[in-house]
A and B are shown apart, each in its own frame.
Chain A
Amino acid sequence: MFLEVKNIAKTFHKEEVVKDLNFSLSENKTLSILGKSGCGKTTMLKMISGLVASDHGEIFINGENIKDKAPEKRNIVYLYQEDLLFPHLNIFENIAFGLRLRKVSQQEVEERVNQIISALELDNQGQKMPHQLSGGQRQRVSFGRAIITNPSLLLLDEPFGSLDTGTRQRMQQLFKKLAHEFSITSLFVTHDLKEALLMGDEIALMEKGRLQVYPSKEAFVEDPATGVKNEITFWDSLINQNEIKEMRA
């Protein structure tokens, strides 16, 4: 397995936020993690990225234990719900940021940034400043900035949470396309049931600090704890009510 998380846990002020987490993920796959606010999703992602130290446990990437590695050396990018574009840099420089940190040559920076700009459908936007873009465009730039560094693992913490429904759908499709095109391995955290089902190759549910990874999407749908059944029942009853009304009419 490409990513292996073994027994990691975290306690804040005597409260166990993440409890003995165990899961694994194959290369170039996306694991969707569904969970409500405060269930420990963000803490889990921050432990994997190294931004928060775990109390115990181990994290392996491609067989290497990275638990004691500094976050800047893990090659794991953590993306927030907010796009967090640097307001003092234009779009080109925002995307190039990770390459500049690695002191990549100017020619290579230009080639790679222009390639990403095209892939993100942001042609001719490179010289604009972040405040001149829409929410969806900004989130795309944020993706580009992360992808360009070829991270081993991409951690997405409710990345589309602040977008409207239409933009959110387009961003989901774009992410699927980019994940395939750039062979991205990722953990996609969301509290949206539909998004969790759409985005993940595998799917998991996080509740009160515990993570349950399902063997298949069918198993996820069948588990009453995920709320999928309730959702189906709700829509079915709504359709049935409408049909009865139509028949009476």
Chain B
Amino acid sequence: MKLSIRPFILSAIVILVLFPFAYLLLLSFASGWQYPSLLPEYFGWQNWRVIFSTETGILSSFLLSVLISLAVAISATLTGFLISKVVSYHPQKNLLSLLTYFPYILSPVVFAACLSYFFIKAGLFGKAGGVIVAQFIIAFPYAVIFFSSFWGERVKSFESLTTTLGGNSWQKYIKVLFPLAKGLILICFFQTFLISWFEYGLTSIIGVGKVQTMTIKVFLFIKEANFYYGALSCCLLIFPPVLLLYINKKYVFNKLI
């Protein structure tokens, strides 16, 4: 019987991919794990209980991150949907589409440095509102580009038909355009949520360390060489995206294909 090595290679790849996540989870339960000890001094829920203590501020960072990402995702998805329609039907469509790529020409840190003057003047520096605005500047063009494929002659015909059937602009959006674009809207919401959730460069500069999102918190713990809290924060950082990916795959993607 010929022995196939394919299952072994596949298993090795799966283990290699999953190992960092498993190790991260393991680390979040450990403390006092010094070289050359094979096992940690403590293994239990002690680190996770810390989430609920105000001292580390992990829970407040998590909630703040959720709040900022939700605000960015909702505002970017809705405005992106509406503005992409204007851009797609505009006579200068190509020029406007080109402009939407502008925020991605510069790195987020350089971009934030360029914008910081305006944020200081607007009184948004070091505030959660400022971080939301800064992240929106990145997420919004993404949403505009994302929705540009939705608008076309067929959607225009649906709009015209609705109008001649007696529908006003509001009814056109509520009864036709939003339901037609439902799948795309959900995907865009997930994507912009993720853009905001993992954003570091803009947040660190506009937030000036005062707005401590989960990403900022992870870097702070790593800088302090506190690997156990760092691992714990990473687990919390990964949890919402994994949940969103699961929902996306189960309820949205499978229905689109």
The interface of chain A, by Cβ under 8 A from chain B, is 46, 49-51, 71-80, 82, 84, 86-88, 97-98, 100-102, 145-146, 149
Total interface residues in chain B, CB < 8 Å:
18
B180 touches A72 (CB 8 A): no
Q: List 17 A-B contacts (CB under 8 A).
A: A71-B160, A71-B164, A72-B163, A72-B164, A72-B165, A73-B166, A77-B165, A80-B157, A84-B154, A86-B179, A86-B180, A87-B180, A100-B175, A101-B166, A101-B167, A101-B175, A146-B165
The interface residues of chain B, by DSSP majority, are classed as helix
Q: Are A88 and B166 in contact (CB under 8 A)?
A: no
Shortest 4 CB-CB contacts between residues of A and residues of B? A88-B179, A98-B165, A78-B164, A101-B167
List 15 other contacts, CB 8 Å, given A46-B160, A101-B166, A149-B166: A51-B164, A72-B164, A73-B166, A74-B164, A76-B164, A78-B161, A80-B157, A84-B154, A84-B158, A86-B176, A86-B179, A88-B182, A101-B162, A101-B167, A149-B165
Which residues of B approach A to under 8 Å, CB–CB?
A: 154, 157-158, 160-168, 171, 175-176, 179-180, 182
A76 shortest CB reach to chain B, Å: 6
Whether B157 and A82, one on each chain, are in contact in the complex, defined by CB atoms closer than 8 angstroms, is yes
Chain B residues within 8 Å of A86, by CB: 158, 176, 179-180
CB B172 to nearest CB in A, in angstroms, measures 9
> In the assembled complex, which residues on chain B have CB atoms less than 8 Å from the CB atom of A149?
165-166
**CB < 8 Å A-B pair total:** 58
Task: State in angstroms the CA–CA spacing of A134 and B23 once bound together.
Answer: 56
**Chain A's interface: helix, strand, loop or mixed, by majority?**
mixed
Looking at the assembled complex, report how far the CB atom of A158 sits from the nearest CB atom of chain B, in whole angstroms.
13
Q: How far is the CA of A137 from the CA of B247 in the complex (A)?
A: 36
Question: From B169, which residue of chain A is reached at the shortest CB distance?
Answer: A72
A76 to B176: give the CA distance in the assembly, Å.
19
**Most chain A C-beta atoms within 10 Å of own C-beta, residue among B160, B161, B179:** B161
Q: Chain B residues near A101: list those with CB within 8 A.
A: 162, 165-167, 171, 175
Q: Which residues of A sit under 8 angstroms from B158, Cβ to Cβ?
A: 84, 86
User: Once the chains are docked, how many angstroms separate the CA of A98 from the CA of B164?
Assistant: 9
In the complex, A87→B161 CA distance in Å?
14
Name the residue of chain B whose CB is nearest to the CB of A98: B165
**A76 — nearest CB in chain B belongs to which residue?**
B164
Q: Which chain B residue lies CB-closest to A74?
A: B164
Name the distance in Å between B164's Cβ and chain A's nearest Cβ: 5
Task: Assess the A77–B157 pair: CB atoms within 8 A.
Answer: no
- Residue of B with least CB distance to A77: B164
Complex CA gap A78/B165 in Å reads: 8
Q: What is the distance, in angstroms, from B210's C-beta to the closest C-beta of chain A?
A: 45
Of the candidates A78, A97, A98, A145, the one whose C-beta lies within 8 Å of that of B160 is: A78
